[in-house]
Structure 1
């Protein structure tokens, strides 16, 4: 082989080698980039592996869209159905998870740990419209600080079996508790409960959460009164409002027989089972369970209306889920980008297709909301805007729920007085708070 030919081959080999090296270097950079991506852990009760929950599927699509737009950030979902992992991390000042999905009724407890990052300055800095929400962000603050951005809202609704109402010749859903009481004699018979009042301790975060969520919180807070003080410690509602709630519930069980003692053991699941089976004709329940129930009830026999209240147009306490940032996280910047996207109108349009009553007002401009599929969500959205109130909850909310549930149960089972309920709740709550 001539020197000239050898030189050509050598040059060819060098070029090929450089190309190979370049490719390897590029691949290495890509691998390095992937390996150096910031991983944000996201604490959520929605399990990406749950193929039967449209909300989980929507969450996965939102995360996928975020990661595509932000390739340097990867999201790891930490599934936490009861929220125990999130509050434990906040109490122990752990640096992870970075983002926590917190319900409004848990937020005061999280705030008391000092482990939730205030977002007020970030919202102003990034020019997030504080009024582009069904309920303005100002009303969702805890003790004057914005500790999360709202993803969705939940308001109690009356769910009823149409056939039970038709059989009793009830043509209009009850708007007030007086009207609920009037249904007792017509609906509560044989194995059917006219209006179930769930005061059981099963389900939820703790205590009689279903009772407090659907009935008690709205009555005692009313249209303008606080539920708890701004710091989430002292009771904010008056003795008169609590006495009104106790008298109303006592009469629904006793005087009107709209409900029966069976429901004293009902929580979320028992109430849903009763509505599905038709042994419960109606109940104040969660809109987030309506679609699931609707699929389980044959012959289009399920309907909803605004939940009853003391007067026809009274406010209802609403809550939902906020995305909060762990103040101890070393990845707060990336966490904020994720929170900002997940509560943006674009992401909320995706969440809406999972069935949520999303929080951003402008998301409802999406074409999805003129489809028949979204009709219920539109109705619930209007309820939230017209009759919803965000209230402050206790730093020991689950304990309060249990105290309240037990006091009301005792009143019904032992023919106690509404005054005894007021005394028991106030006394036991003060004792529990002193130990907290």
Structure 2
């Protein structure tokens, strides 16, 4: 996520792109592609993608040189590419970065003409397309893999504790979590040291408390009463309710998925986790999937949101040496056929409506994720500073979890101070 230096790089990239620096002529033969790590390993992604890229080459004569880039490196490499004009033709981006990267002007704008070349705007799932750029502007990416958060729960652990249904409210989740926390087993697993994961939950809880992280002009509003209460509700799962293992304050690399799959935690909040569980030997019959809970008594102004619109978008750099081939590749990757193949493999949801109706996405997990995505999910703020919000607020929450893990108090006053400091850093 961007630091001040990186944000300066963003501005520089926008200037270079605006001057036409990033434009070059097409060579028509090869494109380069940075794929995001969607599966259980980089090697799994390579094995998944290579047959599809070979298929594209057979159909078009365009060879795809590709690399699977870890999420920990992807944004920094994108910023470097935007600044230098040297990078891939096509890239996957986290959809929460859409407006931040759009502001660089380094990506191709999917206006009406570009959308027509890839099959038309109406093909895409509306909720997924809403997270492709700032409102009122043509998006600079289109959805590729769609996701939403859900509550995963271990059926046998629930049965052993006499719990007959998944919790629908946070109050119920805490009560159930306390019944399930015993004998080196915890009620819930989280990723307390993962800034992006923290920021995603900060957004969702804030919506449920009637809060916003930015005002209508795009200025940060971090330390409001609603945001403070939202952060406290989430951190209190460890600090007060004691249903989260304090060691989770150090989790940042999917360790919570491993805890759930290995029966160390009975519940998990995650995006399309089924494929990760299978990779660790957990069968779909062992866990249930339900919507993320809501507040039992929401305050005035609360919104019925229980997930951010999660997912991965695909974008094209303006400086591509093969813009025509790059757009052909985007059309191929978002075709009905490829959307079924790839999303079925990764356990995510198709981003195009025709593919979403395929029988491959009618299993219980996918149906819950789709219902949430289409009915109760909302996109993170589509403002240029969104990625900095993830870093600053997510890192502040990391510090709060570290305090909770060491039995230090995490009061509203302390949370407000941390959020105020994050806002001041945002404002520069």
Question: Under a length normalisation based on structure 1, what TM-score does the superposition of the two structures give?
Answer: 0.78
Shift of 1:316: 1.4
CA distance in 2, matches of 1:282, 1:198: 13
The reply to whether residue 172 of structure 1 matches residue 165 of structure 2 is yes
Check whether the contact 2:98–2:133 (CA below 8 A) recurs between aligned residues.
yes
The 5-angstrom pairing of residues 10-409 of structure 1 reads: 37-46=28-37, 53=44, 56-71=46-61, 73-82=62-71, 83-84=74-75, 86-126=77-117, 128-136=119-127, 139-144=130-135, 145=137, 146-201=139-194, 208-213=195-200, 215-222=201-208, 226-228=212-214, 234-235=219-220, 239-287=224-272, 289-294=273-278, 296-297=280-281, 300-310=285-295, 314-354=305-345, 355-369=347-361, 374-392=363-381, 394-396=386-388, 397-409=390-402
- Judging changes above 3 Å, is the alpha-carbon distance between structure 1 residues 132 and 311 closer, same or farther for their aligned structure 2 residues? farther
Q: Which string of whole-angstrom CA distances, capped at 9 and with x for unpartnered residues, describes residues 222-243 of structure 1?
A: 4986544688x63256713312
Q: CA RMSD in A?
A: 3.1
Task: Count residues in correspondence.
Answer: 385
Q: Is contact 1:131–1:137 with CA below 8 Å preserved after alignment?
A: no
Q: Report if aligned partners of 1:61, 1:350 keep a CA contact under 8 Å in 2.
A: no
Which stretch of structure 1 is more off in the superposition, 252-261 or 109-118? 252-261
Please point out which of 403, 413, 418 is paired with 2:412. 418
Q: Is the 8 A contact 2:291 2:368 kept in 1?
A: no
Q: Is the 8 A contact 1:227 1:391 kept in 2?
A: no
1:187 and 1:50 map into 2 onto residues whose CA distance is 31
Cα deviation code 1:371-417 (max 9, x no counterpart):
xxx55323322221122222226142334421332245436642131
* CA deviations over 1:307-355 (Å, ceiling 9, x no partner): 2233596331122111111122232222112112211223212223313
Whether contact under 8 Å (1:86, 1:100) holds in the other structure is no
Match of 1:204 in 2: none
Between 1:109-118 and 1:402-411, the stretch displaced more is 402-411
Superposed displacement of residue 153, structure 1:
1.4
Asked whether the 8 Å contact 1:176–1:308 carries over to 2, the reply is yes
**CA 311–368 in structure 1, closer or farther in 2 if over 3 Å, else same:** same
Provide the C-alpha distance between the structure 2 equivalents of 1:326 and 1:191, rounded to a whole number of angstroms.
49
Please say if residues 220 and 238 of structure 1, whose CA atoms lie closer than 8 Å, have aligned partners that are also in contact: no
1:210/1:170 Cα in 2 relative to 1: closer, same or farther (>3 Å)? same
State the SS of the aligned residue for 1:113.
coil
Using the size of structure 2 for normalisation, the TM-score is 0.79
Superposed CA deviations along residues 41-97 of structure 1, whole A, max 9, x for unmatched, are 1111249997973x55443333233222212x2211123113156414434232431
Which consecutive segments of 4 or more residues in structure 1 shift more than 6 A?
Answer: 47-52
Equivalent residues of 1:210, 1:268 under 8 A apart: no
- What residue ranges of structure 1 are gaps of 5+ in the alignment? 1-35, 202-207
Residue 183 of structure 1: CA displacement?
1.7
Question: SS at 1:267's partner residue?
Answer: coil
CA contact (8 A) 1:157 1:285 kept: yes
Unaligned runs of 5+ in 2: 1-26, 298-303
SS in 2 for 1:195: strand
* Alignment partners' CA distance in 2, 1:138 and 1:353: 20
Q: Distance in 2 between matches of 1:124 and 1:286?
A: 28
Could you tell me how far 1:357 is from its partner in structure 2? 1.1
Question: Do the aligned partners of residues 395 and 276 (structure 1) sit closer, same or farther apart at CA in structure 2, a change above 3 Å counting?
Answer: closer
Q: Distance in 2 between matches of 1:235 and 1:306?
A: 29
